[in-house]
Structure 1
Amino acid sequence: MPAPTPVFFLAGGTGISAETLGNMMLQQFPTVTFVRRKIPFITSIDRARQVVLELDAAMTDSVTPLVFSTVSDQEIRAELQKTACAFIDLFGSHLDTVERVLHVNAAHDVGALHGVGDLRRYEARMKAVEFAMEHDDGQSLRNLENADLILVAPSRCGKTPTSMYLALQHGIKVANYPLVEEDFQTSDLPRPVRPYGAKCFGLLSTAARLSQVRGERRPGSRYAALSQCSYELRRAEALYRAHRIPSINSAAMSVEEIAAVIMQTLRLNGVG
């Protein structure tokens, strides 16, 4: 069996962008095993030199590590490119293209890459996170009129991670509402979200996947039984269809993919 390929994600900031973009590429190689490591906050030449030593130490005669970088500082980036590993620059060459098109030199500001440099966008994202936390799993029904989106789904279909991702990455205020037993006994939308049907989006799963996820939390329970999961998903799908609520099956989708579909379907732009 071939040795795993080391993968490094380098960044001048948190490394979220390097990880996201790099992993999008790695997903195209499902037969290859990767060992991933993120190295964030590379903000000096000295640190870059230390990182290059770490990268090159992972080289072997049979395996060449992959390095994905979103470092924006030109001097630091040039130092990192001295590695013997395969260096994929996710920032530099594309930034050069944008500079040529706009006829304006980039600021090379690390904070701006993640929205920190724009205080308005940053504050909007933090307020969205607070909103999502307050309205997670139906904990609060206050101010639903201020929600940009209301996720409706049976328990454990991915409402919480999707809500938090949309809030943190895009500044979208998301409330999520869990469908419970009494909701499955009627074709009406649950009373708290009934006035906001246009903001609702439904999540589904497969019965097998939902049973597996629930079983990790409550093994052997009726809650995790395949028959119960199948029943809830059928009733949820019928509810969405009756009220023309768009929905997707989240079983085999990443949170990034789920978020992208929701934003496109409901035409949500976000702030980031």
Structure 2
Amino acid sequence: MSTDTPGAGPEADKRRIPVFFLSDSTGLTAEAMGNALLVQFPDLKFDRTTIPFISNPEEAHQIVQEIDDLVEAGEGPLVFSTAVDRDIRSQLVECRAPIIDLFETHMEKVENALGVCSSSLRSQLHGVGNMDSYYRRMQAIEFAIEHDDGQSLRALEKADVILVAPSRCGKTPTSMFLALQHGLFVANYPLVDEDFETDHLPRPLKDLGPKLFGLISSPERLAAVREERRQGSRYASLQQVNFELSSARRLFQKNNIPVVDSSAKSVEEMSAIILQRLAHRTHH
């Protein structure tokens, strides 16, 4: 169970809106889809609560009663649900609060389009599901950890993607996301001052061009991130940051490495761009 609140304007200070993400599995889909809608209301404050693994209709009924108590108290809660089990879902929809059933909303259209009824199986999206896919993801995570920040160059040629960037441009979180969510073997390599002495790729990367993706950031953003880590250091100075970013851009351009700017993009957005470009390479 977790709580998170975005920034908001003066109007939102009057109250915080309780939001519930309900699921009979992990709740990750309810959170992702619900938050994608809530982010469109930046001037409101939300108290987010996730309740995963609702196992039976009795438990669902108890949760509904708790939410109905908030309705009775005038709290005005909002509910997002991705429950798959029909009996659990039938309890949840009795809730007196507005409920956005993200599963039921679209399933009938999908069934009509495919001409078959759904199986209503839980735990397929974020569960173990296909064992081959699960093991692939676990191996990808191990690979990403071993090859994080240039710690190991062993079997670097096995990487599907190698992220190259100056320090603190988002290499590690993007590597882990691609590994966990997509089962990609991702290494990341930090660029340091010595790598900028020429426009040639660092020796460990020189034969791996098609796997490389460059990450950059804005000077102000990168300096701020580094300042949090090493306050008042040369490493965090705007002069050093400008030098590294301009040198990295030149290196990427010289070696035809595609670039993703991390300064205003989430890990999910950066990963989507990388996946799109990988798919384009595969088909050409």
TM-score band by shorter chain is: over 0.9
Residue matched to 1:42: 54
Shift of 1:59: 3.0
Residue matched to 1:152: 164
Secondary structure class of the residue paired with 1:259: helix
Structure 1: 5+ residue stretches without partners: none
Map 1:1-272 → 2, pairs under 5 A: 1-59=13-71, 63-267=75-279
Alignment RMSD: 1.7
Cα offsets for 1:174-205 (capped at 9, x unmatched): 11111111112221111111111111111111
Secondary structure class of the residue paired with 2:177: helix
Cα offsets for 1:211-246 (capped at 9, x unmatched): 111111111111111111111111111111111111
Q: Between Structure 1 and Structure 2, how many residues are aligned?
A: 269
Contact 1:167 1:174 (8 Å CA) reproduced: yes
Shift of 1:63: 4.7
Cα offsets for 1:58-107 (capped at 9, x unmatched): 33676522211111111101111111222111112312222222222222
Q: Take 2:280 and 2:86, find their aligned partners in 1: how far apart are those partners?
A: 34
Matched residue type, 2:132: R
Structure 2: 5+ residue stretches without partners: 1-12
Matched residue type, 1:224: A
Shift of 1:266: 1.9
Q: Take 2:47 and 2:77, find their aligned partners in 1: how far apart are those partners?
A: 9
Secondary structure class of the residue paired with 2:120: coil
Against the structure 1 CA distance between its residues 199 and 211, is the aligned structure 2 distance closer, same or farther, given a 3 Å change threshold? same
Contact 1:201 1:246 (8 Å CA) reproduced: yes
Secondary structure class of the residue paired with 1:58: helix
Shift of 1:9: 1.2
Secondary structure class of the residue paired with 2:71: coil
Aligned-pair identity in percent equals: 53
Q: Take 1:126 and 1:57, find their aligned partners in 2: how far apart are those partners?
A: 42
Matched residue type, 1:95: M
Contact 1:115 1:121 (8 Å CA) reproduced: no
Shift of 1:169: 0.8
Contact 2:26 2:123 (8 Å CA) reproduced: no
Cα offsets for 1:6-65 (capped at 9, x unmatched): 211111111111111111111211222222111111121111112112322333676522
Contact 1:145 1:196 (8 Å CA) reproduced: yes
Q: TM-score of the superposition, structure 2-length normalised? A: 0.90
Against the structure 1 CA distance between its residues 216 and 244, is the aligned structure 2 distance closer, same or farther, given a 3 Å change threshold? same
Contact 1:64 1:85 (8 Å CA) reproduced: yes
Matched residue type, 1:192: P
Secondary structure class of the residue paired with 2:80: strand
